[in-house]
Amino acid sequence: MFYFFPVSVTSYELSHLAALEAEAVHVFREVAATFERPVLLFSGGKDSVVMLHAAAKAFWPAPLPFPVLHVDTGHNFDEVLRFRDETVAAFGLRLEVASVQDDLDAGRVVEETGPRASRNRLQTVTLLRAIREGRFDAVFGGARRDEEKARAKERVFSFRDEHGQWDPRAQRPELWNLYNGRHRRGEHIRVFPLSNWTELDIWQYIRDERIALPPLYYAHKRSVVQRDGMLLAATRFLSLLDGETPYEATVRFRTVGDATCTGCVESSATTPSEVVAEVAATRVTERGATRADDRISEAGMEDRKREGYF
Amino acid sequence: MQLLRIATAGSVDDGKSTLIGRLLFDSKAIFTDQLAAVERASRDRGEDYPDLALLTDGLRAEREQGITIDVAHRYFATPRRKFIIADTPGHLQYTRNMVTGASTADLALVLVDARKGVLEQSRRHAFLASLLGIGHLVVCVNKMDLVGWSQERFDEIREDFRRFAMKLDVADLTFVPVSALHGDNVVHRSASMPWYEGTSLLHQLEEVHVASDRNLIDARFPVQYVIRRSDFRGYAGTIAGGVFKPGDEVVALPSGFTSKVRAVWGPGGSPLSEAFTGQAVAVELADDLDLGRGAMLCRPGNRAESAREVDALVCWFSERAALTPGATYAVRHTTTETRGTVERLEYRLDVTTLHRDETAESLRLNDIGRIRLRTRAPLLFDPYRRNRATGGFLLVDEHTGDTVAAGMITGAPVSPVVWHTAAVRREDRPTRGATVWLTGLSASGKSSVAVELERRLVAAGRPAYLLDGDNLRHGLNAGLGFSPEDRAENVRRVAEVARLFADAGVVAIASLISPYSEDRARARAAHDGLPFVEVFVDTPLEVCEARDPKGMYAKARAGEITGFTGIDAPYERPASPDLVLRPGDGDPAAMAAAIQALLDDLG
């Protein structure tokens, strides 16, 4: 099930991917050794798949010593949910699903209205509720520092107070490979094992390790609409605006999130190698090209992170 | 492809963010949408060129105030290497973030504004980089466009910086004149500075040789986590030093049990023929040692030091509290957590002048100082200079959970801390050693007796060696004076050396005034289990003064020398010596024979 990096025996040099993997494995083991109830956020998106794969490698030959959690907006692509369930079965994982719909039904959050409505921001409430109810003390996320400016400031072990909030001005210094996971009951630590990976690293790893992904990540034909300079998938979740007509295009997704705000790009890449070549040559960031939620304001991510977002 | 980690440091206005922006922009690591956002934001501010600093200043407060608050990580790659930049804030208030960003760096970039020259802040950052063990320092003299691309100015700054850096531990120091704003010498060679013969900054980053910076000598494997599965027990962790391979003899600390490496597994179960520093592995041993987190595997002939007391340099991070002697913190070191109490604050270091303030009573935010730390459980460590992974630690406030300090161990107070038990026992040696300690006034005749004793013992086939107090003051004890403290130290050293000779099977003959009974008692105590013969050469003061072979008594009487035993410094007569020799007991040969007889009685 795992494929191995060739390690050159003479120079004692690790390739950059092997070094990044070693860093992630160290973090998984550190958490398993020092926390009581870790959980790994798993959406079926490529970063969480890579994170799960590295976590499984960290504990070989034993099974993963913690469950996985999916925060379900109810607006997921069907292919991604299918892939999620297949992966959970293949790895023999315990999956917990926290659904935004439950919070809507209970009146804890209110659905946005209008053609640009999204459940993206509502996820935060559901995530924090799931952490509270599961009494999780460490929550692994697949966030990477290269994704966005505010994330570039993130620690590997990121302290969250009892309201799940992040205070960027009071982050704990983090040195060497020593991590401070101290917290009180009700507080928790977000842990980002892939902090130092770039989009290209993720794809090279997927290629080298032959990691399966939802088919959305490779070129396929689908019905799309153009909006705000992005291509959005015409799904049952998307309300069309005046003048928008769906048309068919050959596209792939660079990120897979809420179907209402995740865009795709025109592409003919059908294998990991072809995607690696495309990513290496692209001149637009993955979130910039495909995430309407990051365009809200110059500090959109920072604000959502403070509230407790992924 | 190799990964290079870079830490950047510079003062607030040195243009650090702009330099990184330029590095990313010219090496095409900046995406069009990021650039568009920067151009938009720059226009909004009424600037007439894209402010590349906006690429790296990600927090709202940073953009509003035009400063960098926290470490930001940037990523870019060239066909030769992949780079991770820890971009750290320049101003004093956030020095702790510089320390954070620099802890894992292979190379530090220090920025200097060509107009301002080497400021306190540049010195501070250069010092921090060397303190954290970064072997390569590249000084970018920026804003060369504002000093007319002047070679004289560049040379002046280079010399100024070199003079300061001589006091630091930097193996590799280079200088590049750049203009981050215009891009000169950042990625491409500058046409404006034909006098500069070096390569561009990016070229240097691609070429710098860092492979040999790692410690591949001392095998260290702190057990982080134990993986169990039916009959599999793997000790999981990240190799902190050296190389491990199947078949290697290992010792587990602190227990001291030995075993052999049965197998080394990479992540996911790749069988490794050897594994080295930085690899995350699982090690299986041939024997069932039942180790847990916090144990450390080493080679039997090369072990980490173990001590409950260590000396360390610390950088203090907390705004809320100061470090004060007597305070207790949680100590995070390798894979262990224990509690540690600050025994002493030795000094606070002024990182600009490197002056040590020994009167300091506490360390405050961003202070650096040397402490002695006493821990509840022994730390298994190497000095930080030798190994970052086993020499670095954190102090955590147990009440707030804050990381309040980073520490770098310099060593244990008494070194070596590990007492190596030799394979050869005293009774295995061909001869029996002992120490003969001759004490008495100056010119009492100690030396003559000692010389005679050495000659007689050697002639009789018994190894002997003379340790003459006056002679030792030329070498071993050079620099010690005649104050009570110095005399005590003089006696302590001679006693230690005598003990080694005695332990080796030699009769050590120590001849020195040693006027204080407390010092002589300590010398005897140091000889734990070895014969120690105290001989008091009891020659009256007036006899000694009449002899006065070196004219010392005359000088002391005339006040030309002070602190002379018997004149203006005391001689404490031994209360119960093993042997007393008086002038009436015969010549030095007869006296030596008496001592020899005593030694023979001891066996």
Would you list the DSSP string of B147-210?
GTT-HHHHHHHHHHHHHHHTTS--SEEEEEE-BTTTTBTTTB--SS-TT--S--HHHHHHH---
Whether residue A57 and residue B237 make contact (CB cut-off 8 A), yes or no, is: no
Q: What's the token pair of residue B37? A: 């956002």
Topology of domain B1-211, per CATH?
A: Rossmann fold (3.40.50)
Mean pLDDT estimate for chain A: 87
| Alpha-carbon span B87 to B377, nearest angstrom | 36
Which residues in A lie closer than 8 A to residue B224 (C-beta atoms)? Answer: 26, 29-30, 33
A19–B403 CB contact, under 8 Å: no
A99: closest CA of chain B, how far (Å): 31
Determine the pLDDT at residue A9. 47
Residues of B in contact with A265 (CB under 8 A): none
- Show which residues of B are catalytic: 514
The reply to whether B225 touches chain A by the CB within 8 Å rule is: yes
Interface contact B317-A299, CB threshold 8 A: no
Q: Do B280 and A288 touch (CB under 8 A)?
A: no
Would the annotation count B122 as a binding residue?
no
**What's the number of CA atoms in the CB half-sphere (13 Å) around residue B195?**
11
pLDDT at B428: 78
Cβ neighbours of A33 in B, within 8 Å:
224-225, 293, 335
**pLDDT tens by residue, A105-126:** 988 888 888 777 778 788 889 9
Residue numbers in chain B where pLDDT is lower than 70 = 10-12, 27-36, 38-39, 41-43, 45-69, 89-94, 414-423, 603
Check residue A146 and give its pLDDT: 84
SS3 A59: coil
Chain A residues in contact with B72 by the CB 8 A cut-off are 145, 149, 152-153
On the question of a common fold for B1-211 and B424-600, the answer reads: yes
Is omega for the bond preceding B540 within 30 degrees of 0, making it cis? no
Residue A296 has a pLDDT of 45
Q: Over the stretch B458-467, which tens digit does the pLDDT of each residue have?
A: 998 899 999 9
Task: Count A/B contacts: CB-CB distance under 8 Å.
Answer: 195
For residue B342, the model assigns a pLDDT of: 97
B99 has a chain A CB within 8 A of its CB: yes
| pLDDT tens digit sequence for A255-298 | 887 777 778 889 999 999 999 888 877 766 665 555 555 554 45
How many beta carbons lie within 10 A of that of residue B314, not counting itself?
Answer: 23
Task: Write out the two tokens for B85.
Answer: 């930049």
The dihedral formed by the CA atoms of A157, A162, A166 and A168, expressed in degrees to the nearest 10: -90
The single residue listed with the structure tokens 């050869």 is: B424
Q: Does domain B307-409 fall into CATH 2.40.30.10?
A: yes
* Contacts B408 to A, Cβ<8 Å: none
pLDDT digits (tens, 9 = 90+) for B34-89: 666 766 766 676 665 566 666 655 555 555 555 455 777 888 888 889 999 988 76
Terminal-to-terminal C-alpha distance of chain B? 70
Q: Which of residues 301-340 of B touch A (CB under 8 A)?
A: 317, 330, 332-333, 335
Smallest CA–CA distance, residue A134 to chain B, in Å, is 23
A203 phi, psi to nearest 5 deg? -70, -35
Look at domain B424-600 and name its CATH class. Answer: alpha beta
Q: Is B444 annotated as a binding residue?
A: yes
Q: Report yes or no: B63 at the A interface, CB cutoff 8 Å.
A: yes
Kindly report the CATH class assigned to B218-296: mainly beta
Strand segments, DSSP code E, in chain A are 38-41, 68-72, 95-99, 138-140, 157-160, 188-191, 220-227, 230-233, 247-253, 263-266
Task: Read off φ and ψ for residue B163, nearest 5 degrees.
Answer: -60, -40
**Domain coordinates in residue numbering, chain B:** 1-211, 218-296, 307-409, 424-600
For an interface test with A, the pick among B332, B336, B399 (most A C-beta atoms closer than 10 Å) comes out as B332
Q: Alpha carbon of B2 to those of B84, B102, B242, B327: distances in Å?
A: 11, 19, 19, 43
CA end-to-end span of chain A: 29
CB-CB under 8 Å, A169 with B56: no
Q: Which of the 8 DSSP states describes residue A172?
A: P
What pLDDT is attached to residue B304?
95
CA nearest A23: which of A203, A197, A207?
A197
Does any CB of chain A come closer than 8 Å to the CB of residue B139?
no
Q: What value does the mean pLDDT take over residues A160-170?
A: 83
- Residue to substitute from A177, A276, A282, A301, interface B, most B β-carbons within 10 A: A177
- A175: Cβ contacts below 8 Å, ≥ 6 apart: B99, B100, B103, B104, B392, B394, B406
Q: Which amino acid is at B190?
A: S
Contacts (Cβ under 8 Å, ≥6 apart) of B574: B439, B517, B520, B534, B536
**Strand ranges in B334-490 using DSSP code E only, listed in sequence order:** 336-350, 355-357, 368-381, 392-396, 403-411, 434-439, 464-468
Burial class (CB in 10 A: 0-12, 13-18, 19+), A259: buried
